[in-house]
Structure 1
Amino acid sequence: MKRLIMLAALPALLLAGCAAQSAASGTETLTVTGSYPLQYAQQFTIDECEGGYHLIIIDGTRYLVVPEGENAPAELDADITVLQQPIENIYLVSSSAMDPIISIDGLDTVALSGTQADNWYLDAAKTAMKNGQIAYAGKYSAPDYETILAANCGLAIENTMIYHTPEVKEQLEKFGVPVLVERSSYESGPLARMEWVKLYGVLLGKTDEAEQVFDDAVQRIAPLENESATGKTVAFFSITSNNLATVRKGGDYVAKMIEMAGGDYVFSDLTDSGNNLATVNISLEDFYAGAKDADVLIYNSTIEGEIRTMDELIAKCPLLAQFKAVQQGNVWCTAQSLFQQSMEMPDLILDMNKVFTEGTPDDSELKFLTKIT
């Protein structure tokens, strides 16, 4: 439902700007058509305004998306970042944003990468860099300002690591490059993370494409909602070089994917220890106590690399030889591309469901899991 808001009642963020906009349009009111509908995401909101303007709020930071051919309101509050469409020549530092952008056919808006070509697992991104369509412009803490400015960069998309080097963000903004800090990694569920595709749809003027991509992903796993839990207990882990086990916290999105797939995550009682990290390192003794009787072990290759054989796995941690899943041959390894392919999480959920229900599905049926033999 549309609502007509008098300028006097507007929040401070748009008071000055709306006055300028309304003066140009001959009205003293701003029509807000409502909030952009989000089903799962909690880390951003989008308000829709008449004329195609969008106000994005991420962790209290405000971005006004101005439609192509329209003017940005004058005298906005200083903390509002104006994003003028078309948004082009993006400096993409947050690797998790690449897959959503690719999924809505927005790769041509990216001109610069904070990840080198050989470190991309996304074929489209790797190919674009090798073909010269996308240039490497330095990592988040050491950007190549000369390359960024020469490319006429319209937006830098960072993750929260940029807050460790705030001077970099300040320098980019000083040069006139707006910086958007995305927080998809702070979402607690896989569908919430994937719903960030809608934010990129708004930024790039591809809302229809984004909504279709997201709806398709939701529908792919919808049948699992009607299935009963499998009763299979599951540990998702990796072994560090200093003999610790890295596991996900109970409220993490990977734990929720296991649950959606019908499994029971054995470390579901691990809670936030006062930081925002999704993982926690525990001693091998504690890992043994929690996971030795798990029906399924899933080794996370994205941290320490892929494991192909049981001998390799046991060499990393001899104690694993005593685990039930190792003895029964029910150990799986994730693909290293997993966390860059953020729009493919339904495939991992379906993979896990097959493992939990079929026991030993053929590897050819799976996209992200490979059996360790």
Structure 2
Amino acid sequence: MKRLLLCLPAVLLAGCAASTQAKTDGLTIEKSYPLDYAQQFTADECADGCTLITIAEDRYLVVPQGTAVPQGLDADITVLQQPIENIYLVSTSAMDPILSIDGLDAVALSGTQAESWYLDAAKAAMQNGQIAYAGKYSAPDYETILTADCGLAIENTMIYHTPEVKEQLEKLGVPVLVERSSYESGPLARMEWVKLYGILLGKTDEAERIFSDAEQRIAPLADKAPTGKTVAFFSITSNNLATVRKGGDYVAKMIEMAGGSYVFADLTDSGNNLATVNLSLEDFYAGAQDADVLIYNSTIEGEITTREELIAKCPLLADFKAVQTGNVWCTSQSLFQQSMELPDLILDMNRVFTEGTPDSSELKFLTHIQ
């Protein structure tokens, strides 16, 4: 509806309740940038070569280098003049898409310290001084950010917990883009955010190619019948709870795409936007005891390598079918930073579901727990 309203004559917009938000003075929208999966952002291409990006209630106008900023823009539109340089990258999930389109040179500042990066290129860039640490999302180093002539801060929605930080960055002349890829419900939708970074960095061809290649890698799985394997994806917390994904979460979708059946598929949104639910060990036992495959999520509580380590976290697990049959796997801790490598996890899971216990050395994200 929003894109249609942008093209309507002003006389028709006068009586429209949404006109204040939808009408963009000074811009002529020619077409929408094609997105096949992503629901959390849109991009509209303008007659003058600019692109209007909309993320939730926020709008950003990407203006090509050498193009004048259009006159008469709505006050809520943030102008991003290319080239966009010296980015302060706070959202870790944005790094892998930027790396995939060879855009690392545009990043000068990080909200994550070197030792916390699992992406080799990002860690190396910080270690050799190419990227400086500029403080976490809630406590940025404003002096470092200003000295670097930062052209854009890319945050995730955690920034809304400290709105004063966002306001201060904007007061200092640093535009803030809050990305919402984590709100996408499917892996391909999350990965399609690479196209947004392609638009920002003038690398749309690279982004299209990278995304198409990833899409094609898992396309053959769509023609395969379900494996019939039931699967639990979980971790055990230090206070004796089981953390599982909701049924509509992208991890549950990946299990399904790999041919499995997620045992907690009926878990729905409990009134918050969190992707996970903490279950009592008794409830987890009831739902996952008979699962054919257990996948332990190491990104929360750390990796485990042996059956003994797993059972030490939760003695009840000794009675689980997958533990007794030896079909327990652990994810790598790099998983959630490698947001463009989700096809590898899907393919790993498909091999586990179809081959039983493939050699861990042949898998990228899953390690067999002995």
Bigger shift: residues 137-146 or 43-52: 43-52
Deviations 1:223-260 (A, max 9, x none): 00000000000000000000000000000000000000
How far did residue 60 of structure 1 move?
Answer: 1.6
Unaligned runs of 5+ in 2: 1-5, 14-18
Residue matched to 1:39: 36
Q: How much does 1:80 deviate?
A: 1.0
Distance 1:346 1:178 in 2: 32
Closer/same/farther in 2, CA of residues 83 and 14 from structure 1, 3 Å limit: farther
User: Take 2:214 and 2:52, find their aligned partners in 1: how far apart are those partners?
Assistant: 26
Equivalence for 1:361: 358
Amino acid at match of 1:201: G
Q: 2:293 aligned with 1:285, yes or no?
A: no
- Which residue in 2 is equivalent to 1:150? 147
* Residue in 2 that maps onto 1:275: 272
Instruction: Note the C-alpha offset of 1:13.
Output: 5.8
1:78 shift after superposition: 2.0
CA shift for structure 1 position 51: 2.3
C-alpha contact 1:13 1:76 (8 A) present in aligned 2: no
Q: Structure 1 80/4 Cα, relative in aligned 2: closer, same or farther at 3 Å?
A: closer
- 1:46, 1:54 within 8 Å by CA — same for their partners in 2? yes
Deviation string for 1:23-82 (max 9, x for gaps)?
Answer: xxxxxxx54321000000000000001121000000021111111111212342221111
Q: What is the Cα deviation at residue 365 of structure 1?
A: 1.2
- Aligned to 1:245, which of 239, 242, 248? 242
Counterpart for residue 16 of structure 2 = none
Could you list the per-position Cα deviations for residues 317-344 of structure 1 after superposition, in whole angstroms to 9, with x for gaps in the alignment? Answer: 0110000000000000000000000000
1:1-373 → structure 2 map (5 Å cutoff): 12=20, 17-18=25-26, 31-373=28-370
The farther-off stretch of 3-12 and 355-364 is 3-12
Q: Given residue 200 of structure 1, which amino acid in structure 2 is its aligned partner?
A: Y
Shift, 1:6, TM fit: 5.3
Alpha-carbon distance in 1 for matches of 2:98, 2:331: 23
| Letter paired with 2:68 | N
2:3 aligned residue: none
Give distance in 1, aligned partners of 2:164 and 2:29: 35
Q: Aligned in 2, Cα 1:140/1:296: closer, same or farther, shift over 3 Å?
A: same
Change (3 A) 1:199 1:66: same
- Where 1:367 maps in the other structure, the secondary structure is coil
**In 1, Cα distance between the equivalents of 2:21 and 2:58?**
11
The answer as to whether partners of 1:190 and 1:257 remain within 8 angstroms in 2 is: yes
Cα pair 1:91 1:112 within 8 Å, conserved: yes
Secondary structure of the structure 1 residue equivalent to 2:112: coil
Distance (whole Å) between structure 2 residues aligned to residue 13 and residue 130 of structure 1: 44
Question: Distance between the aligned counterparts of 1:76 and 1:342, measured in 2?
Answer: 34
SS at match of 1:268: coil
Q: 1:9 to 1:70 in 2, by over 3 A?
A: farther
Deviant stretches of 4+, over 4 Å: 3-17
1:177-233, CA deviations, whole angstroms, 9 ceiling, x for partnerless residues?
000000000000000000000000000000000000000000000000000000000
When residues 8 and 147 of structure 1 are mapped into structure 2, their CA distance, relative to the original with a 3 A threshold, is farther
Matched residue SS, 1:42: coil
Aligned-residue CA RMSD (Å):
1.6
Residues 298/15 of structure 1: CA separation in 2 closer, same or farther (3 Å cut): closer
Change (3 A) 1:16 1:329: closer
Determine if contact 1:16/1:74 at 8 Å carries over to the other structure: no
In structure 1, C-alpha distance between the alignment counterparts of 2:172 and 2:28, rounded to whole Å: 33
What amino acid is aligned across from residue 171 of structure 1 in structure 2? Q
Map of 1:21 onto structure 2: none
Q: Match of 1:276, as an amino acid? A: N
Query: Residue by residue, what CA displacement relative to the aligned partner does 1:280-330 show, whole Å, maximum 9, x if unpaired?
Result: 100000000000000000000000000000000000101100000000000
> Is the 8 Å Cα contact of residues 17 and 73 (structure 1) preserved in structure 2?
no
TM-score relative to the length of structure 2? 0.95
Q: Provide the TM-score with structure 1 as the length reference.
A: 0.94
Contact 1:162 1:169 in 2 (8 A): yes
Q: Secondary structure in 1 aligned to 2:285?
A: helix
CA distance in 2, matches of 1:9, 1:209: 39
Question: CA 1:55/1:293 → structure 2, altered by over 3 Å: closer, same or farther?
Answer: same
SS at match of 1:101: helix
Count residues with an aligned counterpart: 361
The unaligned stretches of length 5 or more in structure 1 are 19-29
Moved more, 119-128 or 75-84: 75-84
- Percent of pairs with identical residues: 81
Query: What amino acid does structure 2 have at the position aligned with 1:273?
Result: S
Distance 2:246 2:54 in 1: 27
Residue type of the partner of 2:49? G
